[in-house]
Chains A and B, each alone.
Chain A
Amino acid sequence: MALMPKRVKYRKSQRGKMRGNATRTNYVAFGEFGLQSLETKWVTGRQIEAGRVAASHFLERVGRVYIRIFPHKSITKKPLETRMGKGKAEVEQWVACVRPGTVMFEIGGVAENVAKRALARVAHKMPVKCRFVSRRHTIG
């Protein structure tokens, strides 16, 4: 089942713009390795679910997969061969707004080579170019 919110204030939302780079969710926080987006795009709930399934299927219940994005935004679409107007269409899908730098998935509890292969499979399911990142120790 694709991800979607349980409760929302308004059913339909405006499309908005996605400017700039990720200023949050832009580092590996929970696992040891992550999949970072290099592009700006909407990632649908179905794509996130497909990524999760691909990772958990590859890992065979070893390690842990963290999903760092959630589709909060509803996208509407008019049916085919419909005339324009008559108000905003019905919700078709839910998407997460992903900017360059967003860490979308994380994996912990497995070796680096395993995590790399698992996240490569996830990257195939994503609509954006991705790169593999590992946790960076802080200096301070």
Chain B
Amino acid sequence: MVAKELVLKAELRKKLGSKHSAKVRQSGKIPAVVYGHGQEPEMLSLDEHDFVEGLHHGHRLFDVQFEGKTEKLLVKDIQYDHLGKKIIHTDLIRVDLTERVEVEAPLIFKGTPAGSHEGGLLEEHLDHLEIECTVTEIPEAIDVSVKHLGIGDSIHARDIKLPDGIKLITDPDALLISCRLPAVTAAAPAEEAAEEGEEPTSPEVITERKPKEGEEESEK
């Protein structure tokens, strides 16, 4: 766990809409919305550099200063651009330090599985767990060792040992990671067919009229 609180300075956005949001982004800021605790939502703009730095250092909880007040805000959602590179918007939710919240914690699989030495393939099925914990206890990530995984072995959500005070929300039977022998790829027959020199056929057309037997006879 990392130091959880970081102070950010924000400004209230008075002009709303996509056009004004684009201008906010051009000035090196990120549009944000603050909501929660039954209060009116507020539109803010955060400094992009400070916010992204904070996220990279594992912060989820921010002390945001705006309009002469400071609020404790938790990152609820982040929107990225079409390339997934740049943050274009963020949702921040008002929280108390004693409040329990449901969050997604990323899973980090560590080690080389024993089965991989026998040709096993490690398949990740889920890369995060939904957990419930107090705001101050949100883990940056959950480390899972996969060293002991042999071929045919798997790790489920119920197998993860969570620290005290953290409750699992994800289905305990959910499969997280498994090690298995690679299946024969479906494309292999296609390669064989190509070698045999079979020409690709055109697809079946659903709406195409098929000549009836009676029509054929009349034509003859």
Contacts and interface: CB of A to CB of B under 8 A. Distances in A.
B106 A137 contact: yes
Q: Which 3 A-B pairs have the closest CB atoms?
A: A21-B82, A137-B106, A101-B82
Contacts of B80: 136
Contact of B76 (A56, A137, A140): A140
12 contacts: A9-B207, A11-B208, A56-B185, A56-B187, A64-B123, A100-B82, A101-B83, A108-B122, A131-B83, A137-B106, A138-B106, A139-B75
A5 B206 CA distance: 12
Give the secondary structure class of B's interface.
mixed
- Size category, B interface: 35 or more
B204 A1 contact: no
A7 B203 contact: yes
A76 interface: no
A100 B82 CA distance: 7
Interface string B74-88: 011110111110000
Interface of B: 55, 60, 75-78, 80-84, 103-104, 106, 121-124, 127-128, 141, 182, 185, 187, 190-191, 193-194, 198, 200, 202-208
B206 A9 contact: yes
A61 interface: yes
B196 to A, nearest CB: 10
Contacts of B121: 62-64, 109
Nearest to B83: A101
A102 B193 CA distance: 30
